[in-house]
């Protein structure tokens, strides 16, 4: 494990990677995402766990995404995700429609190292008919019982933001545990954190259960307010003014370019609000 800069962390995500990203309220590595946009990365296959919003919309709008596997992309109370909506309409990005339980189940299979996992709730649905990598099989323990086999999801890389890491590479997640699943299921985990702490997080019995061990983490970058303009737990809220501007203007090429410039995805990093 190594502690690197945000730009160095983002440089470890190659073009064409199958990249797993978390939902907006569980620790989105927006500082690293801005670095990917500045590069820019190309041909990503995004796996949203289980949904995404601003992060996916920015990457799609910037031409970084070839395919997206998700149950939804939305800005929530701010409205629809304009660049995702345009990509669906224009057919510029391959959409692998999914459900939240199916995405979590596929990742759990990847985490366990098994080829597939059974799931019942999507039998006879339209989404099942649109997925060639899901299939209906017989329950081997109960003749006549049909169940869906969800192919394991094993992302090349996962990228997320967390509260803290120590200098050994252990990462503290807090009360949300999606980062643990992402780190276990993906081949490589890259993490930005609010702070670097001294000592060993795994030696603190009160926090050890919410720690991703360094064994599963390839690299960490120190990125204070690294989820901005999204919020991060109790640390800071979402930037409502930016999100409102983005939702109102990013449907046009000019508006999207203006919001990208506001985020600092050109040559210079943005001045993140304190």
Does 9 reside within a domain?
A: yes
Q: Is residue 269 part of a domain?
A: no
The DSSP bridge pattern shows strands 146-151 and 134-138 to be: antiparallel
Tell whether 159 and 237 lie within a shared domain: yes
Burial 51-62 (b: 16+ CB within 10 A, else e): bbbbbbbbbbbb
Place of tokens 């299939």: 135
Rounded to 10 deg, the angle between the 178-185 and 100-112 helix axes is 50
Evaluate if residue 1 carries a pLDDT over 90: no
Q: Measured at the alpha carbon of residue 12, what is the angle toward residues 199 and 82, in degrees to the nearest 5?
A: 105
Whether pTM > 0.75 for this model: the answer is yes
Instruction: Count CB atoms within 10 A of the CB of residue 109.
Output: 22
Q: How many CA atoms lie within 13 A of 159 on its CB side?
A: 29
Q: Are 48 and 70 spatial neighbours (Cβ–Cβ below 8 Å)? A: yes
249/138 same-domain check: no
Q: What is the CATH number of the domain that holds 63?
A: 3.40.1080.10
> What is the pLDDT confidence band of residue 186, given thresholds at 50, 70 and 90?
very high
pLDDT tens, residue by residue, 42-67: 999 999 999 999 999 999 999 999 99
- Dump pLDDT digits (tens) for 192-226: 999 999 999 999 898 899 999 999 999 999 999 99
Q: What gap in Å lies between CA 141 and CA 152, rounded to an integer?
A: 21
Distance of CA 121 to the CA centre of its chain: 24
How much is the pLDDT for 268?
41
Residue 146, classed as helix, strand or coil, is strand
Q: What is the per-residue pLDDT for 272?
A: 60
The residue range of the domain holding 92 is 2-98+154-261
Are residues 159 and 143 located together in one domain of the fold?
no
Instruction: Specify the number of domains making up the chain.
Output: 2
CB 260 within 8 A of CB 37: yes
Do 66 and 175 lie in a common domain? yes
- Segment (H or E) for 190: strand 188-197
Q: Quick one: 189 and 216 in the same domain?
A: yes
Cα separation, 184 vs 193, whole angstroms: 18
Strand partners, 190: 159, 219
């Amino acid at each position: 494990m190594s502690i690197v800069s945000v730009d160095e962390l983002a440089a470890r995500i190659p073009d064409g990677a199958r990249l797993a990203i978390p939902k907006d309220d569980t620790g989105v590595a927006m500082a690293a995402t801005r670095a990917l946009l500045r590069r820019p990365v190309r041909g990503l296959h995004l796996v949203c766990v289980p949904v995404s919003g601003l992060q996916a919309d920015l990457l799609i709008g910037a031409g970084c995404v070839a395919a997206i596997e998700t149950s939804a992309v939305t800005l929530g109370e701010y409205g629809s995700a304009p660049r995702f909506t345009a990509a669906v309409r224009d057919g510029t990005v391959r959409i692998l429609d999914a459900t939240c339980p199916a995405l979590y189940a596929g990742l759990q299979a990847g985490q366990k190292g098994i080829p597939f996992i059974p799931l019942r709730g999507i039998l006879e649905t339209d989404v099942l008919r649109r997925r060639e990598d899901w299939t209906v099989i017989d329950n081997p323990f109960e003749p006549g019982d049909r169940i869906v086999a969800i192919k394991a999801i094993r992302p090349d890389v996962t990228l997320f933001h967390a509260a803290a890491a120590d200098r050994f590479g252990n990462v503290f997640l807090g009360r949300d545990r999606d980062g643990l699943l992402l780190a276990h299921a993906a081949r490589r985990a890259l993490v930005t954190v609010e702070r670097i702490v001294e000592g060993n997080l795994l030696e603190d019995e009160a926090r050890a259960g919410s720690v991703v061990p360094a064994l599963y983490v390839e690299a960490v970058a120190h990125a204070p307010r690294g989820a901005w303009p999204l919020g991060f737990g109790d640390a800071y809220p979402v930037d409502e003014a930016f999100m409102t501007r983005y939702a109102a203007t990013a449907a046009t090429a000019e508006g999207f370019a203006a919001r990208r410039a506001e985020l600092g995805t050109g040559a210079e990093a943005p001045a993140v609000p304190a």
